[in-house]
């Protein structure tokens, strides 16, 4: 039962529920290869959200800025490939939302502990504006903050729960968004953590 959120944006409540145990296992497996870490922002602050990545390219932040790399700056090795369960849910969500192709070039995995937050931002480090971003929430529910195309636009609040999937395409691809500080609470499959997986295309297809 898709819930339209805005032009190009659609929420699929619980779409990933049946896959959640496999997705969480895959996250733990990935984190053994490239550990979650709290990156530094270009402004010199440490993010409260810890991140890791998989796919052809991974997103990184440091004092020099935000960018995508083919190798992990920590391990020096290529990012691990997308686990099969990741590919499957990205395909299922984009097809359900009516997009012709799933974004699979890069996958960012965010790990929230109690109090961790993500301030209002736009995702603009990718060069494939026609491709949607697929986001998937696991574990402790969070309050998603969701504005418009200008930072000053009013912000709506949306609860993102375990298994929820949102496809952000069309004009919604560039809305300002963030996550309010995570409440201390626990989930049987993730403990006090919330994980968010985003699937992205970062370059135009050949």
Q: Residue 125, exposed/middle/buried by CB under 10 A (0-12, 13-18, 19+)?
A: middle
Query: Is residue 123 part of the contact set for Fe ion (CB under 5 A)?
Result: yes
Whose Cβ is closer to Fe ion: residue 123's or residue 189's? Answer: 123
Q: Is 187 in the site for ligand MD3 (CB under 6 A)?
A: no
Give the torsion through C-alpha atoms of 48, 52, 56, 60, to 10 deg: 30
CA distance from start to end of the chain: 34
The reply to whether 15 sits near ligand MD3 by the rule CB under 6 A is no
Give whichever of 123 and 192 is closer to Fe ion, judged by the CB atom.
123
Closer to ligand MD3 at the Cβ: 33 or 149? 149
Cα gap 149→93, rounded to integer Å: 24
Please report, for residues 15, 43, 87, 191, the alpha-carbon distance to residue 79 in angstroms, rounded to integers and kept in the order given: 27, 25, 15, 26
| CA gap 62, 45 in Å, rounded | 9
Among 31, 2, 1, 6, which residue's Cα sits nearest to residue 146? 6
- Of 15, 50, 93, 108, the residue at the interface with ligand MD3 (CB under 6 A) is 108
Among 16, 27, 138, 179, binds ligand MD3 (CB under 6 A): 179
Instruction: Kindly state the smallest distance separating residue 107's Cβ from ligand MD3, in Å.
Output: 10
173 binds, among ligand MD3, Fe ion, none (CB under 5 to 8 A by kind): ligand MD3
Q: What's the CA gap between 136 and 150, in Å, rounded? A: 24
Residue 40 binds what, of Fe ion, ligand MD3, none (CB under 5 to 8 Å, by partner type)? none
Calculate ∠ Cα 179-180-184, nearest 5°: 115
- Is residue 133 involved in binding ligand MD3 (CB under 6 A)? yes
Contact between 189 and Fe ion by CB under 5 A: the answer reads no
Which of 126, 168, 190, 199 contacts ligand MD3 by CB under 6 A? 168
Q: Cβ distance 115 to 179 under 8 Å?
A: no
Does the footprint of Fe ion cover residue 56 (CB under 5 A)?
no
Give residues in contact with Fe ion (CB under 5 A): 123
Binding site for ligand MD3 (CB under 6 A): 108, 110, 118, 123, 133, 135, 144, 166, 168, 173, 175, 177, 179, 196, 198
């Amino acid at each position: 039962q898709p819930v339209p959120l805005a032009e190009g944006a659609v929420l699929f409540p619980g779409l990933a529920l049946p896959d959640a145990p496999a997705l969480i296992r895959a996250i733990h497996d990935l984190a053994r290869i490239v550990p979650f870490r709290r990156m530094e922002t270009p402004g010199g602050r440490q993010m409260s959200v810890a991140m890791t990545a998989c796919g052809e390219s991974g997103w990184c932040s440091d004092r020099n800025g935000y960018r995508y790399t083919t190798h992990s700056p920590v391990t020096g090795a290529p990012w691990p490939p997308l686990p099969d369960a990741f590919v499957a849910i990205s395909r299922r969500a984009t097809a359900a939302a009516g997009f012709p192709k799933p974004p699979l070039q890069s996958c960012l995995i965010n790990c929230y502990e109690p109090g961790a937050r993500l301030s209002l931002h736009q995702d603009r480090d990718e060069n494939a504006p026609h491709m949607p971003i697929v986001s998937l929430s696991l574990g402790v529910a969070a309050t998603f903050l969701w504005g418009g195309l200008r930072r000053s636009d009013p912000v709506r609040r949306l609860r993102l729960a375990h298994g929820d999937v949102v496809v952000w395409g069309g004009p919604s691809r560039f809305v300002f968004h963030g996550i309010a500080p995570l409440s201390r609470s626990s989930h049987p499959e993730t403990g006090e953590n919330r994980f968010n997986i985003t699937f992205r295309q970062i370059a135009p297809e050949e």
